[in-house]
Amino acid sequence: GESVGLHLPTLSVQEGDNSIINCAYSNSASDYFIWYKQESGKGPQFIIDIRSNMDKRQGQRVTVLLNKTVKHLSLQIAATQPGDSAVYFCAERMDSSYKLIFGSGTRLLVRP
Amino acid sequence: EPEVTQTPSHQVTQMGQEVILRCVPISNHLYFYWYRQILGQKVEFLVSFYNNEISEKSEIFDDQFSVERPDGSNFTLKIRSTKLEDSAMYFCASSEEKAGSNYGYTFGSGTRLTVV
């Protein structure tokens, strides 16, 4: 999910289908990863997180997969709904730091 | 559900003026943060604040910026002598533990700052 300036990559899916949003993170030393959802005019909203000692974590309708070998994070959304339409950001952090480093974001559009 | 509250939602200011962005973190949270997002770009870390002092700051957070927790509930970001490039959405966040480990941050809805 890399982007340049205003041009966010966009994923368009049919309502009811599964969505997979990908993220390439930057720091192989990161210990903790989070997926955020951002709706227009709102702040980022926590979806799901995973620590670096795990490769998969499941929530309600969402699953995060972590591949540390290639520094890749993905978010899977099952049975995508219109309310899932938003921009999705991955973020990473090292335990030694207070800051989250955000990725560029992917826009998810759900077609009814 | 507890929320992080930010005021104002939109602030327009003239270049060179000072602005103060206000935030009320979640009451039992101990760690506070400011981030900004220039239109269409990534969310960027500015500063973290814990135990009444800055715990970490980014290169963006230069002498133009300052943060303060003036009382037990508010957390403010002051931008002195604003520049056009300071125009962005500014998000306040708070967390119960350091950097939201295993909890995630809670972000406010943001203040849109427009410098003209």
pLDDT above 90 as % of chain A: 82
Interface residues from chain A to B (CB-CB < 8 Å): 5-8, 32, 34, 36, 41-46, 49, 51, 89, 91, 93, 95, 97-105
pLDDT above 70 as % of chain B: 94
Question: In the prediction, which pLDDT does A13 show?
Answer: 97
Tokens 């799901």 correspond to: A48
Reduced 3-state DSSP string for B30-89: CEEEEEEECCCCCEEEEEEEECCEEEEECCCCCCCEEEECCCCCCEEEEECCCCHHHCEE
**Least CB–CB distance from A49: residue in B33, B102, B107:** B102
Distance of CA A106 to the CA centre of its chain: 8
Closest-CA distance of chain A to residue B12, Å? 16
The mean pLDDT of B94-109, rounded to a whole number, is: 76
B31 touches chain A (CB under 8 A): yes
The mean pLDDT of A62-80, rounded to a whole number, is: 97
Question: In the structure, what pLDDT confidence band is assigned to residue A95 with cuts at 50, 70 and 90?
Answer: confident
Two tokens at A17? 């289908």
pLDDT(B1) > 70 = yes
Question: In the prediction, which pLDDT does B102 show?
Answer: 55
How confident is the prediction for chain B on average, in pLDDT? Answer: 92
Closest-CA distance of chain A to residue B70, Å? 22
Cβ contacts of A41 on chain B, cutoff 8 Å: 109-110
Q: What is the pLDDT of residues A4-32, one digit of tens each?
A: 345 689 999 999 999 999 999 989 999 99
Phi, psi dihedral angles at A74 (to 5 degrees): -135, 155
The mean pLDDT of A39-56, rounded to a whole number, is: 92
pLDDT(A88) > 90 = yes
Closest-CA distance of chain A to residue B6, Å? 10
